[in-house]
Amino acid sequence: MSSAGDRDCCLLVAQCCLVVQNQSDLSDQSDPTDQTDLSDAQRWALYAHWLESDDATVRANATICLIHQANFLLDQQIAAIETQFITEGGYSEQLATARLAERAKTKDQSDQSNQTNPTDLIPQCPQCSKPMALRTAKQGKNAGSQFWGCTAYPDCKGTAEV
């Protein structure tokens, strides 16, 4: 009781499942079924038999299979990006790492020339361990004198003498 269109649908589903299965290991470059180097015309030719079918059911099933394949590949890409984010960190972390590496490189170069790096002389806040800034008292009994004040002020009111 099955028509030729039903058989075509079953064949299409089987082929789409095979294509998705073959795409599951994207890192295997020796895979003879790897279709990543195909042109658009060659990719269209793979599915043209079903996409150009006179039977609307066959066309619909072909479209569903292609959507399923696209969803699967997007899931694979999202998983790879998530793994990369976990192992390498996000943009801010990568930027901070690069900045620290550049500072270390600069520090190594300045150590070779026996110059002291001014940032080495900046103390850390005794209360919150953030770097301190050189400030001048504007009022009170110490007006006009310099002191180290926490850069997290007003959240942290840590100070140190110069």
Per-residue pLDDT of the chain (162 residues; tens, 9 = 90+): 345 555 565 555 556 555 555 555 444 555 555 666 777 788 778 888 888 889 888 888 888 888 888 888 889 999 998 888 887 778 887 788 788 888 888 877 766 655 555 556 778 899 998 888 888 888 888 888 888 888 888 899 899 888
Domain boundaries, the chain: 4-88, 122-162
- What length does the chain have? 162
Task: Please tell me the distance from the alpha carbon of residue 3 to that of residue 134, in angstroms, as a whole number.
Answer: 86
Q: Are the C-beta atoms of residues 158 and 128 closer than 8 Å to each other? A: yes
Query: Structure pTM?
Result: 0.41
Alpha helix stretches (DSSP H) within 24-90: 40-51, 56-88
Q: Output the DSSP codes for 77-130.
A: HHHHHHHHHHHH--HHHHHHHHHHHHHHHHHHHHHHTTPPPGGGGPPBPTTT--
